[in-house]
């Protein structure tokens, strides 16, 4: 029976309503790798892509691994399941992962070794399955098939017994590393167990507190094996060994050249037993790391110290009790060491006899201790002849203050080449002068608090100098002039505010200046460093200006100097609108930086302006106006010298063209001089002074006239002299107003046809009311009324002969006759 369609749709809707939305993946997934670390996962995610080659599922809460968990990941090569709670792994869990090369199951809850699950993994190289709960360390035949296996770590706190056949399947597998962890107190070790191993590195995390007889058996099994590295962890976890049995007697038969003891309890008895057997073994590198050393109250020191111990490397690190350095009350066990490291051993002084015993030390590392100036260098000690082979000295992470103290300490060490003083409290040179061994070429002083005075104490023989992160504010150029061999200089993370232009360092090849406070750098900053090949100068507050741009562009173009942190570390700080802009993105305009372009543009603009001015001058007759202005100024100057103040001598000055002279004499002059009282009128034909410059006559008479009448006609426009008179009248009107200029239009004039030099006339006619001479005789009477109204009442004027109202002989006005001057003027106006 079929369900109705509505019922089917309802069921689908109900299913969708109750379905949970898919959760976003908690893993960081790329094409070939995924990290799901620490996500509290209870099972392996199902949405992982099949292209994965690496998968990290560590630090989760997965409890079991089933077949379907990794079946889709056929390309998987690395799988990390560390720090989960895995209790079981299905036999076919890795059936699809035949390419797997690395499998990590460290720190889980496995109750048995998952041999069957490992069977398909023929390409497996690394298998880490220690820190689990399986009680036996026995391996089955599956491990014999893992021929590519290189690293195997196994065991855990539940392994109390190691059987003689436990590792038989590994007999023919050449391992690079085998690590075994057992219970806190191993109860049984069957002889022959380790003889089956074929490994170069052996790590034994086993405690022998209650069963010390295990150690001789173990060492005996390692005879003849291809062992190079032997590591013991927590050999005595709870008790100090006080027995008389030589537990390390069989160490002489072991081929290992490096022996490491990590953690565990040590006293002088155990330490001496180890050193005695190391002395006759193949061991060259010996390390004691994080051991708990304590002196035994009943132990008696031997009469002879630990002599004839020859080691390539001795490491004492992370030991809280500095007594370990002279466990037998001597430092004789340092005498045959080449590379000696005493790191974080909490000691603050070096006795005089210690320096003498280190006669074969080539490299000495005493970093991360509590050494101070007065304890590392003792005036009572004799340092001459000590450490004759020392080449490297590491005093980093101590409490040293004065560089001069180190100079005195190392002065007699003729082969010392490298000195590391990182992370101390060095601030200055101290009071004493600094004399260094000439062999010193490498000095590191980062993370101190140095001042400029430090340069007075620095060795001048250096090739490498590190002063980074030391609060240095400025440089001493005098030091670099004498340190001619310096090739590498590190000054990162300081407070240097500027780069001196006189900085000379002829052989410098590497310079690091990143993280300082300077903002200006240009092409001349490193010009005196001809061999500079690498520069690191990012993370500075750069002023993005032309100098910086030019430096960067030239540096990138030449390729001789390589910017190590370009472009990521280079950003702009100034100007404000470029804040946080990448220097690589700063591209100024060409006119900002190229002086040649600026000069070319300036010259071009100047030339264009000059040409434009010349064209305008030609177009608007500017030379004519300049000439006229000069004449006015000259005339005013002359007039000012002859008379400081004057009154008007004429009621009006009439300017007209010679073509209009007849009309002026017959109509205009006759009517004005015949009025009662008469107007005193100046015309050039009669009133100009003979012998004077025409321009002077024009200017003086216009200046001595209350009004200036211009008779306008087409002939007036064509007259240069009339234009002069119009110009002078306009100049006079600038200080007075245009009210003293009277325009009489005798003939109609087209304003647009006027020449450019009559621009003032055009403006007057456009803005000022003018009088127009009517041709109709009946209207002429009104014209005269208008004219006399404009001229005003004919009041008496000054008639002093000095105002040019008489001629040179003192004669009064003559009749209207054309004299020589008048003729000359008419010729000019025509």
Threshold 0.75, pTM exceeds: no
* Residue predicted with more confidence, 610 or 76: 76
Residues 6+ positions from 648 with CB-CB distance below 8 Å:
704, 705, 706, 797, 798
Which string of DSSP letters, residue by residue, matches 182-227? --SS--EE-TTTGGG--EEEEEEE---SS-TTHHHHHHHHTTTS--
Q: Mean pLDDT across the chain, nearest whole number?
A: 85
Question: Tokens 């200055």 map to which residue?
Answer: 428
Residue 23: DSSP 8-state: P
Residue 571: DSSP 8-state: B
Residues 6+ positions from 201 with CB-CB distance below 8 Å:
176, 177, 178, 227, 228, 229, 231
584-641 per-position pLDDT tens digit: 898 888 777 777 777 878 888 888 998 888 888 777 666 655 655 565 455 445 444 4
Q: State the Cα–Cα distance between residues 171 and 167, nearest whole angstrom.
A: 7
166-222 per-position pLDDT tens digit: 999 999 999 999 999 999 888 999 999 999 999 999 999 999 988 999 999 999 999
221-266 per-position pLDDT tens digit: 999 899 999 999 999 999 999 888 999 999 999 999 999 999 999 9
363-413 per-position pLDDT tens digit: 999 999 999 988 888 888 888 888 999 999 999 999 999 999 999 999 999
Residue 653 parent element (H or E):
strand 650-655
Q: Among the residues of 655-774, which ranges form H helices?
A: 661-663, 670-673, 684-687, 694-703, 714-717, 720-736, 759-767
pLDDT of 563 over the 70 cut: yes
Residue 745 parent element (H or E):
strand 741-745
Q: What is the pLDDT of residue 798?
A: 62
Distance of CA 415 to the CA centre of its chain: 40
Residue 151 parent element (H or E):
strand 151-155
Rg (CA), the chain: 56
pLDDT of 438 over the 60 cut: yes
Q: State the Cα–Cα distance between residues 448 and 427, nearest whole angstrom.
A: 7
295-330 per-position pLDDT tens digit: 887 767 666 668 889 999 999 999 999 999 988 888
Q: What is the pLDDT of residue 805?
A: 37
Buried b / exposed e over 586-619, threshold 16 CB at 10 Å, is: beeeeeebeeeeeeeeeeeeeeeeeeeeeeeeee
Q: How many CB atoms lie within 10 A of CB 350?
A: 21
Q: What is the pLDDT of residue 674?
A: 84
Residue 44: DSSP 8-state: -
Residues in the chain: 830
In percent, the amount of the chain with pLDDT more than 90 equals: 53
pLDDT of 767 over the 80 cut: no
Q: State the Cα–Cα distance between residues 791 and 773, nearest whole angstrom.
A: 16
pLDDT of 720 over the 80 cut: no
Q: Packing angle between helix 820-829 and helix 694-703, nearest 10 degrees?
A: 90
Q: What is the pLDDT of residue 77?
A: 96
């Amino acid at each position: 029976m079929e369900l109705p369609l509505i019922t089917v749709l309802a069921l689908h809707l109900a299913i969708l309503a109750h379905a949970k939305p898919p959760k976003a993946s908690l893993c960081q997934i790329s094409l070939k790798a995924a990290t799901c670390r620490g996500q509290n996962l209870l099972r392996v995610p199902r949405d992982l892509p099949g292209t994965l080659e690496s998968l990290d599922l560590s630090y989760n809460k997965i409890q079991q691994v089933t077949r379907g968990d990794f079946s889709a990941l056929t390309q998987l090569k690395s799988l990390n399941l560390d720090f989960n709670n895995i209790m079981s792994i299905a036999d076919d869990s890795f059936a699809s992962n035949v390419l797997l090369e690395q499998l990590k199951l460290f720190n889980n809850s496995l109750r048995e070794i998952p041999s069957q699950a490992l069977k398909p993994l023929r390409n497996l190289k690394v298998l880490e399955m220690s820190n689990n709960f399986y009680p036996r360390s026995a391996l089955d035949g599956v491990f014999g098939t893992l021929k590519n296996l290189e690293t195997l770590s196994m065991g855990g706190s539940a392994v109390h017994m190691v059987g003689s056949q436990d590792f038989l399947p590994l007999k023919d597998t050449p391992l690079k590393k085998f690590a075994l962890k057992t219970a806190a107190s191993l109860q049984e070790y069957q002889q022959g167990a380790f003889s089956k191993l074929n490994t170069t590195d052996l790590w034994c995390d086993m405690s022998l507190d209650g069963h010390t007889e295990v150690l001789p058996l173990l060492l005996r099994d390692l005879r003849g094996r291809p062992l190079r590295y032997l590591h013991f962890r927590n050999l005595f976890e709870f008790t100090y060994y006080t027995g008389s049995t030589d537990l390390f007697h069989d160490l002489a038969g072991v081929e290992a050249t490096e022996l490491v003891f990590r953690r565990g309890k040590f006293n002088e008895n155990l330490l001496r037993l180890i050193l005695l057997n190391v002395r006759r073994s193949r061991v060259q590198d010996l390390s004691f790391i994080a051991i708990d050393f304590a002196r035994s109250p009943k132990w008696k020191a031997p009469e002879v110290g630990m002599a004839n111990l020859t080691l390539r490397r001795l490491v004492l690190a992370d030991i809280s009790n500095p007594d370990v350095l002279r466990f037998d009350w001597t430092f004789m066990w340092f005498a045959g060491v080449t590379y000696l490291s005493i790191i974080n051993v909490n000691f603050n002084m070096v006795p005089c006899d210690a320096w003498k015993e280190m006669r074969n030390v080539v490299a000495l590392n005493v970093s991360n201790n509590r050494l101070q100036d007065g304890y590392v260098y003792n005036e009572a000690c004799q340092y001459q002849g000590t450490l004759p082979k020392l080449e490297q000295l590491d005093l980093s992470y101590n409490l040293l203050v004065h560089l001069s103290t180190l100079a005195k300490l190392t002065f007699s060490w003729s082969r010392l080449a490298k000195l590391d003083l990182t992370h101390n409290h060095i601030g200055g040179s101290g009071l004493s002068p600094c004399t260094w061994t000439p062999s010193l070429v490498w000095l590191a002083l980062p993370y101190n608090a140095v001042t400029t005075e430090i340069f007075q104490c620095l060795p001048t023989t250096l090739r490498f100098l590190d002063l980074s992160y030391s609060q240095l504010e400025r440089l001493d150029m005098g030091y670099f002039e004498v340190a001619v061999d310096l090739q590498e200089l590190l000054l990162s993370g300081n407070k240097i505010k500027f780069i001196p232009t006189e900085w000379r360092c002829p052989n410098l090849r590497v310079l690091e200046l990143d993280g300082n406070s300077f903002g200006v750098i240009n092409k001349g900053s490193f010009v005196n460093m001809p061999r500079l090949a690498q520069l690191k100068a990012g993370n500075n507050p750069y002023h993005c200006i032309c100098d910086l741009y030019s430096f960067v562009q030239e540096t990138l173009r030449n390729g001789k100097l390589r910017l190590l942190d370009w472009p990521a570390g280079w950003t702009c700080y100034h100007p404000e609108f470029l804040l946080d802009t990448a220097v690589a993105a700063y591209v100024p305009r060409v006119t900002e930086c190229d002086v040649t372009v600026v000069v070319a543009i300036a010259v071009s603009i100047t030339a264009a302006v000059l040409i434009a001015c010349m064209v305008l001058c030609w177009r608007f007759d500017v030379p004519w106006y300049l000439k006229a202005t000069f004449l006015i100024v000259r005339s005013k100057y002359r007039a000012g010298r002859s008379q400081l103040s004057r009154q008007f001598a004429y009621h009006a000055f009439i300017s007209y063209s010679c073509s209009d002279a007849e009309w002026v004499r017959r109509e205009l002059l006759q009517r004005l001089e015949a009025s009662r009282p008469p107007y005193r009128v100046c015309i050039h034909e009669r009133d100009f002074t003979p012998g004077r410059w025409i321009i002077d006559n024009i200017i003086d008479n216009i200046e001595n006239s209350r009004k200036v009448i211009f008779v306008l006609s087409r002939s007036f426009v064509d007259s240069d002299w009339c234009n002069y008179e119009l110009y002078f009248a306009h100049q006079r009107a600038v200080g007075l107003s245009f009210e003293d200029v009277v325009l009489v239009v005798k003939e109609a004039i087209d304003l647009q046809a006027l020449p450019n030099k009559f621009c003032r006339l055009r403006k007057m006619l456009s803005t000022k009311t003018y009088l127009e001479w009517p041709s109709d005789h009946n209207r002429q009477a009104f014209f005269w009324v208008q004219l006399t109204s404009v001229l005003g009442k004919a009041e008496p004027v000054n008639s002093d002969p000095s105002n040019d109202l008489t001629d040179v002989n003192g004669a009064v006005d003559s009749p209207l006759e054309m004299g020589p001057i008048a003729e000359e003027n008419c010729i000019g106006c025509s």
